[in-house]
Chains A and B, each alone.
Chain A
Amino acid sequence: MKCKTLHNKLIFFLEGDLPEKEANEMKAHLAECESCAAFAEDMQKTLGIIHIEKSPEVNPFFYTRLKVQMENEEEKTRRSVGFPVWEKVLQPAFFSLLLLAGIYTGIKIGQPVTAETSHSIFAETELVPFLNEMETEPIETFLME
């Protein structure tokens, strides 16, 4: 077996994926080739890290932390739900109320004005003879007097 052949199959050998015959050939080469043996040892150590890392110690407060996070998120969603309600319902309602109030005050302000105008029409007719009197007398004679 050539060193290159071993390099191409080494991981499968270490993982126990090779058929027995091929595995034996690999073993034989590793027994007599120092550089391949060194590489095999290196790779085995690196892959062995997975076994060290596996099944980590999980924080004992995992569940407590989880509950706190869930409550926080619920609070957040409640708040984020509150915002659309303000935007979609309360805000338009507020503005239409404001508009209605505007119209109402408009009407209220308008009403005495119409009442006054009718009054003023009456006053005008009363004024008319006096104004007509003024008109009949030319301004020059009035000034000369």
Chain B
Amino acid sequence: MSETEIIHKLKQGNETAFKELVENYRNMVVNTCFGLIHNTEDAEDVAQDVFIEVFRSVENFRADSKLSTWLYRIAVNRSLNFIRDNKKRRWFQSFDDTIEAKKEELNRLSSSDSENPETSLENSQRALILHEAVDSLPENQRVAFTLNKYEDLPYKEISEVMNLSVSSVESLIHRAKKNLQKKLHHCYKKKCI
């Protein structure tokens, strides 16, 4: 089924078309959500909501934009909303719970490579540092950087997802990298690892 065919059938409520859409785009959507949320389970939950929204609002989809652009946009919005809600929730959560969640995240990361436990522990520590550095970026820098690095999207497509000019995206990514560099240098001097 081609993209237009999928959309056409989806508008008629065809379930096979929906299944094909999910199979074709789930990795892309989960990966985008993960890039912003940094947690596999949460990223999958948000990705599910993305597809439900797609199914329910396919009527509003305009054929002049790419399906992937539309999916990226929904995935980004949903992930950012999830992060905002999560922050609010964390505000009421105790400090211990936050630490516990971090530990679990670390365990999951380090268990991914059981053959080489030392590198995997180092990698999970690095992952935490990277996630924290990325999370500290302003929202639009974070989105542009994530789409560029996790999804290898060219600036042109990012500009379509974010409704910005290509030069704005270029500048966002440039500033994102500068900010990350600052964070990582600070961490290196402090010997975070």
Residue numbers of A with Cβ under 8 A of B are: 7-8, 10-12, 15, 17, 39, 42-43, 45-47, 49-50, 52-56, 58-59, 62-63, 65-66, 69-70, 73
Contacts and interface: CB of A to CB of B under 8 A. Distances in A.
Interface string B161-179: 0000000000000000110
A84 B42 CA distance: 32
Contacts of B130: 46-47, 49-50
A53 B185 contact: no
Given A46-B184, A63-B23, A58 B30 contact: yes
26 contacts: A7-B185, A11-B177, A11-B181, A11-B184, A39-B185, A39-B188, A42-B184, A42-B188, A45-B126, A46-B129, A47-B130, A49-B126, A49-B127, A54-B150, A56-B27, A56-B34, A56-B43, A62-B30, A62-B44, A62-B47, A63-B19, A63-B26, A66-B51, A69-B48, A70-B52, A73-B52
Given A12-B177, A52-B123, A70-B52, A62 B26 contact: yes
A32 B26 CA distance: 46
B4 to A, nearest CB: 22
Nearest to B19: A63
A58 B27 contact: yes
Interface in B130-155: 130, 149-150
Interface in B1-36: 19, 22-23, 26-27, 30-31, 34-35
Chain A interface, >50% SS class: helix
Contacts of B55: 70
B65 to A, nearest CB: 23
A5 to B, nearest CB: 13
Interface of B: 19, 22-23, 26-27, 30-31, 34-35, 40, 43-44, 47-48, 51-52, 55, 122-123, 126-127, 129-130, 149-150, 177-178, 180-181, 184-185, 188, 193
B78 to A, nearest CB: 14
Which of A10, A11, A46, A54: most chain B CB closer than 10 A?
Answer: A46
Nearest to A73: B52
Contacts of A62: 22, 26, 30, 44, 47-48
Contacts of A47: 130
Given A17-B177, A42-B188, A62-B44, 16 more contacts: A7-B181, A7-B185, A8-B181, A15-B177, A42-B184, A43-B185, A45-B126, A49-B126, A49-B130, A50-B149, A54-B150, A55-B31, A63-B19, A63-B22, A66-B51, A73-B52
A69 B31 contact: no
